Each structure stands twice: as structure tokens, then as C-alpha cells.
Structure 1
């Protein structure tokens, strides 16, 4: 099959909390244009040239002005959950490969890498139980690797829910993530603070959405996500010494 003819049936794609109107057409995905679309196109074009295949391909724009991306087959988890050490390690390895593939582009933009800025499992495609690609690059921007590693450590390893295991086990898995990514000793020491910083940024982000009453996000939903983020931040801060200890050199 080709890249999806204009007469192929559109199938709405669920998952994104903020981007409405995303649809699959044939073997492509159509995303409504946003202020981020041009940079995402530039980034994905650069990644394709480097040989990194853990993301969609930029295919142009359709007659409605929507961004055309290749459809990445696989499974996207419907919710955050417990992931195995192997899955966490694979996600961290994939993130390192993404970052390394962006270094040349990022250097021209005064950044160390281009960060995804939302590399949670909800933006990750799995095949055969393993993470193989990131999707939804709307928040991508130049930055420091720890911005993404800190977010990933929270999203994949840490949870205030009692059924997700004790903080000591979560901290051990964060160490596994740091090992798989290949963090330097200095950055390992900075990772606990980076996790807390990303949670504070998320808290501010969702408070702004709640205050601005963004039309695409129901008020009750944004209030729910804000409250959850605040619980996660409080839990992480209460257990910060556990995470710091787990990342110290053996």
C-alpha cells in the first residue's frame, strides 16, 4: 500500500491529551498543523537522514494543511503502568539513540540535544513487548539530555500508587534506566533533581491549562491531571533520599 490516498477512510486516533483531530489514513497519520509542525518536520527529516528509525517519517502536508507522517505499527499503552527492567532499559537506550541522532541539529540551535520533552509510555510504540519508537514530537525543542531522562525516570519507573511497589524498588529501576542510557557520573548525581524539576514543570503546565480553560481539555480532566501530578511530586520529594542513594556509585 502507498502513503494513503485522499479517498482512504480516516480513522480517528486516540491517546493524546492535547492534540485533537489526529487521524490515520492508510499507512499515514494526519495531524492538524500547529506552531510546532514546521520544527517537527525539520527534526524528523534530520532523523531520517541520520538513519534513526525510532520515530515517524515526515511525508509532507495534505490539501487540508495537515502534517502527514508515516504510521508506526505497534501498540501504544493506554495508561501508565509497571514496566519490566528490560522494557525500561530498552526505552532508555532508544532515548539515547534519539538524542545522539539530534546532536548535530541541536548544536546549530544552541542546545546539547533535541529533547522530545514528553517521552512517556503513552508516546511510545511497542512491538513484541518492547519499545521501538517515539511518537508525538510537538513539544520537541533543543535542551539538555537530563530534561528527557528526568521525565522518563518518572513516567516509566516512579509512581505514588501503592500497587506500583516500594520507593526502593522504583529507585533501583531508575538506576537501571540511568545505566541503560549511559548517564555520566555527574549527570547521575543530578538526575533526582531533574526528576523533581520535570514534575514541577508539569505542575505549572497543567495549572496554566486549568487557569486558561483550554477548550480542547475538559476542566475536570485538567484538574484531575494537576492533582495527580502534585501527588507524584510530593511522593518523589518525600522519597528523594532513596533515589539519591540508588544513583550513587557502588
Structure 2
């Protein structure tokens, strides 16, 4: 690939204008970029291999990150991304990230994107907060890296866990799931994820209540962003994001007892 050829990258719903140039990725520089760059430099310093490296800013004012080689699943999801092995791998990757970042002391006043939803309680670490299939890099069918840290912010481990389960279990109405996941045993997949991540019994009891809170706050946060920021957020909202969240809430409540029995 020629160094000066820009190849548009798809997958992200919010950040537009992301391109690959050689072995780098160029992204619009935003208000939150200094905070994200500090996080990525910390991860590089502690030897966490599963994240891009910050390489600077180009002549057009775009942030320059290293290209993380591999494949990011796009929808409809490929078969390798929906296996139980992939699910366990995502849980292990998230746990490795949390263990790597838990000692990071972000600068006071770091400009994180704090308009998104959150759980109650004191932040424990800087979460990725957007571990969707499009943001996980696979090599040889194994999850090896996380990309797109735009929504990273101070939060709890549990927020990252339930957000990831929302997409990977998935905790969603069957009609809104990828076709390969329409008929899966979600309770089993939630349990497998929690086993792989290493949640203890007390942690498992928090999963469903945290998911309930996360759904409600996600609905309100996305609606507010659509109204106040417009752009991609408004487009996502118009596409039915709020309705999908409400259906997922209803599905969670209808299947609560079965999911709880699997977890604890």
C-alpha cells in the first residue's frame, strides 16, 4: 500500500473521516483527544499490546495512530466472531486491559467525553466503554486488540462488563441481533463471559442490575446527544437506537430469572 494513499475505514458509527494511510490510521482530532492520547501512551509504557500507539498529529491536524493489524468484524458478523471461543477471548482481552489500566492516574481535568451514560459509584479505572465487535481486532479468530478509544472515560469495571455483554452476549431483543446470534443461549453466553473475565459471585450478582441501569441511562444519554449535538448521534437516534434500547430492556426484564439463575 502506498504511503500517501488514504483508504476510508468503516465500522465506527460516530467518528467520521477515519482513514488508513500505510501502517497508520488518521482520525479527526477532537476535544477528548489529549485525554485519549495520554491513556494510549500509558498503555504503551506498561507493555499492553492490545491498543494503538500514538504517533502524533499530521499536517492536516489529524491524530496519527498505529495501524493494529488484523480483522475487525463488520455486520453481518462473520462466523469467527460469534463463537464461544471468541466470546471468552473478548472477556480475557477486557480483563487484560483493565489490569493494565487500573494503575493509570489520569491528569486532573483530562477532557474525557463524559456525556455518555455511566453507573453509580466512584470510578475505578479508565474504561474503554465501547467494546463493540467493530472495535475488537481479531487475528486467526482470536481477539487481540481494542481500537477506537473515543468514549474512554473514568468508570467502573462493571460498566465495561455490561456494555460489552450488551453487544457480545448479546443482551438484546432477538429481532435486533445479528442473524448468527438470533437463537443463541444468551444466559450461557453471559455465564461464559463472566467465567472468563473472572467475576466472583458478588460481581455476578451486580451484572443484571447494572445492565438495567445502563440501558436506562444509555437511552437518556443518546437522546440528549442526538438533540444537542446532532450529526452522527442524531443519525443513530433516527435509525431507531432508542427503540432498540427499549426492546432490549423489555427482553432483559422478561428473561431476568433465567439469566440470574445462570449467573449465580
TM score, norm. by length of structure 1 = 0.89
Structure 2 counterpart of 1:170: 186
| Greater RCO (CA < 8 Å, at least 6 residues apart) | 2
RMSD: 2.3
Q: Which residue of 2 aligns with 1:120?
A: 132
Say if 1:123 and 1:136, in contact at 8 Å, map to a contact too. Answer: yes
CA positional deviation for 1:172: 1.1
Deviation per CA, 1:65-110, whole angstroms, max 9, x where unpaired? 2111001111111127572111110000000000110111158777
Of the three residues 141, 161, 178, the one matched with 2:174 is: 161
Judge which range, 104-113 or 135-144, deviates more.
Answer: 104-113
**Equivalent residue in structure 2 for 1:72, among 65, 68, 72:** 68
Residue in 2 that maps onto 1:31: 27
Preserved CA contact (<8 Å) 1:83 1:157: no
2:89 match: secondary structure: helix
Q: What is the count of residue pairs matched by the alignment?
A: 243
TM-score, scaled relative to structure 2? 0.84
Tell me, what secondary structure is at the counterpart of 1:105?
coil
Aligned residue in 1 for 2:197: 181
The 5-angstrom pairing of residues 106-145 of structure 1 reads 106=105, 111-145=123-157
Q: Would you say 1:236 and 2:252 are equivalent positions? A: yes
Residue 100 (str. 1) matches residue 112 (str. 2): no
Q: Is the 8 A contact 2:54 2:66 kept in 1?
A: yes
Q: Structure 2: any 5+ residue segments left out of the alignment?
A: 109-121
Partner of 1:200: 216
In the alignment, the residues of structure 1 paired with residue 155 and residue 148 of structure 2 have an alpha-carbon distance, to the nearest angstrom, of 17
- Report if the CA contact (8 A) 1:56-1:72 is conserved: yes
3-state SS, counterpart of residue 59 of structure 2: coil
Structure 1 residues 195 and 217, CA, compared in 2 at 3 Å: closer, same or farther?
closer
